[in-house]
Amino acid sequence: MTADVSNEDDCAALVNTPVSKFGRIDILHNNVGIGSLDGDTVKIEKSAWDNVFNVNLDGAMLISKHVLPIMRSQKFGSITHVSSVAAIGSYPLIAYKTSKAALHEFARWLAFENAPHNIRCNVLMLGMIDTPMAIEGYHKATGTPRGTLRKQ
């Protein structure tokens, strides 16, 4: 399926499809994220900030909102959210890192709120992954030519 996680109707449809086919959902793995080099707060465009939060945080909330009633009725489930070490590191990705830090607190709340329903919620805090967004951002931030990585 193709879905926009920042759109609640798409999230509801995304949940309803496997429930219609399989009758349940045991695992939600939220692996969505966008970001850009916006390393100066004075220069951040509000629309760019909102877009990152709509996808990275609102998307996690919306899909969770629609999965939780099914998992609660089953008395079982596992939710994982992919975050980033950027949430606690000094990277010039202000909206991205802030949205991922907020995702940690959202996941903490989900875990607390849903423990009585036997639903676990965890955050996977990953380092840089070889994706076009990450690698391009790395080279812009460090000034290194593509195809090379600077040793830390």
Q: Is the model's pTM score more than 0.85? A: no
Segment 82-101, tens digit of pLDDT: 998 888 887 778 999 999 99
Clarify whether 96 is annotated catalytic: yes
Q: Which CATH number describes the domain made up of 28-142?
A: 3.40.50.720
Catalytic residue among 10, 96, 100, 119: 96
Give pLDDT tens digits for 35-85: 877 878 998 999 999 999 999 999 999 999 999 999 999 999 999 999 988
User: Could you write out the three-class secondary structure of 50-70?
Assistant: HHHHHHHHHHHHHHHHHHHHH
